[in-house]
Structure 1
Amino acid sequence: MKLQIKLGVPHSLQQSLDIERVKSVFPYGKILDVEVVDGGLICSSGVHVEEMGDKNDDCYIVNAAVYVGY
């Protein structure tokens, strides 16, 4: 199985994205490419828990498209 992955990530977060960690969630198949493009969303979660390491109440949403082939 061959996989191509496209992620829509807010521009300000793209440099901190851990591509190897993203790849690790796929249990099998050969990952041909991981493409990161501008997209996603940053919004307020309404929750800020300092004890959990939160610095603000930002919620990050990433859109993913996974193309599967053989």
Structure 2
Amino acid sequence: MTDPLLTVAQAAERLGTTARFPRRLIAERRIAFVKVGSHVRIKESVLAAYIEGNTVQPIRRPRSRYGRAA
């Protein structure tokens, strides 16, 4: 299987942002990208890894058996 290359607009759509955000990630070298001539592409697996790496898990706190004092 090949790993599809996404345009900046497609990557932004997957992230739910404008195209400016993936372009900033590329400019700051915070995400791997591929140069195809003058075009910039992002591998789908790289984008998935970026999302996975920046996912924050919720904190699980044990619930108190007693309610808060009024």
Q: TM-score, normalised by structure 1?
A: 0.24
Larger Rg: 2
Q: Which structure features the higher share of helix residues?
A: 2
Q: Structure with the greater relative contact order (CA < 8 A, sep ≥ 6): 1 or 2?
A: 1
Q: TM-score, normalised by structure 2?
A: 0.24
